Structure 1
Amino acid sequence: MDKTNLPNNPEADDIKPKQRRKRTKVVRNASATNKPRKRTRRIQPSGLRRKILLTSIETFGLGIAAFCAIIMLLGYSASRFSGTSFFVNLLPFATGVLGLILAVSLFLVGWWKLRKWLRLHSEFLAPALSLTLALLISWLVTHDQFTLAYGNFRTLVGGKEEAGRVTISHQVYAAYRRHDVTQLQKMVNRSQEYRQAIEDAARSFNMDVNLLHGIAATESSFIPRDSSDGGKGLFQITRVPEAVMAQARKRLGSEKIALENSRHNAFVAAATFKHYLAEMKGDLFLGLLAYNIGPANGGLRFIMQQYGAANFTTIQPYLQTLPRDYPIRVLSYSLAFRLWHKEGKLLAYEEGNNAIYIQRIGIPGLHTGL
């Protein structure tokens, strides 16, 4: 008889638990294999590109809006609190800067929350709103009040150097204001005969054409002639370094330079001015002053070293009236030509809002305005 069939057989009791544990284990394995797997969502390349593009547009719009807003606020604050008194000027301005930082932080937090709400409705709403802000700020930039704020901001950041540049700039505006409009218009009319030659020279040497017009107006009033001091032609060319003449010949494609030829004269003038501008490390006022002084007495660089002058402002007291005023005269004429090319007429500086408008247009070679 098989003992495993007996009801009280202990060996049978040993087998049954093993079978139950085995069946339980099988059930667990079965349930584990039948469990559904979590699927990961893949972003299509086209969707990723669209997301990057929209984010870039949003960032660009916010950046433009923030940049212009900060300039306006700091510009107005610099004008309102300018001075050296601690409690009246310095402390209020510092408090205003801290308030600006706080306002920017609150704006970014608010924008982040608004952005989440906008994305629930459409992914295009946030970029569209940021572009709208940028366009609104761009519209404000075209107004004269922003020009004043921007000028104050430049002075605030530029410090002593910018303050000196602003002072000299207003000398140029004042010189333009003093011009007789009728006589100035006659000179502009005379310049048309030489316009093509001057434009070609300016383009060849990468110069502002209005600046080259201003030099010609100062030197000859567009009446080419030989002067008693040796000046020749439209730009009254005198002694010129050989390296300058080589550059002029190269740009003209000619082995011989004839200063009586207005085109040749303009190319030599452009090459000469570029030479002195580079010698003065890009300083426009000093470059024009060096052009006028030429190599006499060792040139402007030697004169500045002799008197310990570092810029146009500090060298002025050591110069006679004619070379000292030369850059101002050139730039006032250059400004007249820029206005004439842009507006088709010469604007009276003191009429209406012309002063602010002319300052926004800017002095050729010095800054291009807004």
Structure 2
Amino acid sequence: MLVGAEAGALTGTALIAIIAMLGCAAEWFAGTGFTESLLPFAGSVLLLTLTGSLALRLWWWLRARLQPRVAPLPALLALGLLGGAGWFASSDMFRRELANLRSLVGGTEEAERAAIAHQVFAAYRRSDLTQMQRLLERAQAYLPVIRQAAEANGVDEEVLVGIGAAESSFSPRDSKDGGRGLFQITAPPKGAIEAVKQQLGTDRPDPFNHRHNAFLGAATLRHYLRDMEGDLFLGLLAYNIGPRNGGLRSIMNQYGARDFVTIQPYLKNLPRDYPIRVLTAALAYRLWRIDGKLPRYEEGSNARHIQAVGIPGLGETLRASRKGGAEPPA
């Protein structure tokens, strides 16, 4: 048992160290030049490999001398190293290096995620937090049914709250364009209507009923996420555009666009900021749940804290969309 604990602790420590070192290298040697960036980075990887080999040999040397004296000592020392590595992994420095490594490995997908994330953080920074807090207080009455609708349709509850905030500010009403209720339901896809019929055991979902409305909103989001192959940004944009003009998929095909970077220039007359507004409200809801308040972005170390909390739904969605694996469960 001690050998297993020792091996696990050393493995965990090594993984944290490797991530930190590669993150540092990615930051130091950022760029596209061969001699300025690529070659030094490759050299740092080689150096990391050699250092790891030497560290392993040193451990076996040390272990051979410690174990005869006190048998559990190597395992205890390994667990101590893991504890120190775990403490480091919770630091802002490690989060920064992890972000550097994600940018390096993630490529285009990670660049997209980071670009969207910083648009959301900037939108949160500009938000009237007093008004946002009032909105979230109004949302409390609807959260149980939103949670049920999200679970039934396999979508993110926090993102669904963000949609409700963007659509109605949690003041259910009918709008001039025909939208109804919490999620401003207009023309939900037939598949979404059929799904809600089964989920609620009703022959005709009523968008004037808050529960039905929330389930229709969740089922509609699920439909558009599938249509956009799991891409959250595009799924939210498609939700807002709806079926008019053939829907977002038709617009993308018309212009040869494949992602949010290539579709944004063509959205002059369409709600290009809608996904940002949804995710900003979702972020505020997450912060409200975690902190019990909405911290101001520019005060103290709040920016780092808010970025560490992360944006609902944005962690793996864009990456999954490129692999075709983001279909919500039925």
TM-score by length of 2: 0.91
Match of 1:164 in 2: 112
Match of 1:124 in 2: 72
Residue identity matched to 2:40: P
Measured in 1, the distance between the counterparts of 2:115 and 2:35 equals 27
Match of 2:215 in 1: 267
Match of 2:86 in 1: 138
Residues 153/169 of structure 1: CA separation in 2 closer, same or farther (3 Å cut): same
When structure 1 is superposed on structure 2, of 174-183 and 253-262 the one drifting more is: 253-262
Measured in 2, the distance between the counterparts of 1:70 and 1:204 equals 40
How many residue pairs end up in the alignment? 316
Residue identity matched to 2:264: Q
Residues 205/124 of structure 1: CA separation in 2 closer, same or farther (3 Å cut): farther
Structure 2 residue 40 is the aligned partner of structure 1 residue 92 = yes
1:218-277 CA-to-partner distances (Å, cap 9, x unmatched) read 001111111111111000011112211111122223333111111111111111101111
Contact 1:147–1:356 (Cα < 8 Å) also in 2: no
When structure 1 is superposed on structure 2, of 334-343 and 141-150 the one drifting more is: 141-150
SS at match of 1:82: coil
Match of 2:160 in 1: 212
User: Among 123, 128, 133, which residue is 1:185 paired with?
Assistant: 133
Residue identity matched to 2:22: L
SS at match of 2:67: helix
User: Among 201, 206, 213, which residue is 1:258 paired with?
Assistant: 206
Structure 2 residue 25 is the aligned partner of structure 1 residue 77 = yes
Match of 1:363 in 2: 311
SS at match of 1:120: coil
SS at match of 1:226: coil
TM-score by length of 1: 0.82
Shift of 1:181: 1.1
1:305-345 CA-to-partner distances (Å, cap 9, x unmatched) read 11111111111111135421111111011000000011100
Residue identity matched to 1:199: R
**CA-atom RMSD in angstroms:** 1.5
Residues 311/333 of structure 1: CA separation in 2 closer, same or farther (3 Å cut): same
Measured in 1, the distance between the counterparts of 2:207 and 2:66 equals 69
Structure 2 residue 278 is the aligned partner of structure 1 residue 318 = no
SS at match of 1:324: coil
Match of 1:103 in 2: 51
Give the share of equivalent positions with the same residue, in percent. 53
Matched ranges for 1:1-370 at <5 A: 53-320=1-268, 322-367=270-315
SS at match of 1:225: coil
Contact 2:241–2:270 (Cα < 8 Å) also in 1: no
When structure 1 is superposed on structure 2, of 272-281 and 205-214 the one drifting more is: 205-214
1:5-62 CA-to-partner distances (Å, cap 9, x unmatched) read xxxxxxxxxxxxxxxxxxxxxxxxxxxxxxxxxxxxxxxxxxxxxxxx3222222111
When structure 1 is superposed on structure 2, of 298-307 and 324-333 the one drifting more is: 298-307
Greater relative contact order, per chain length (Cα 8 Å cut-off, separation 6+) = 2
Contact 2:150–2:218 (Cα < 8 Å) also in 1: yes
Long gaps (5+) in structure 2: 317-330
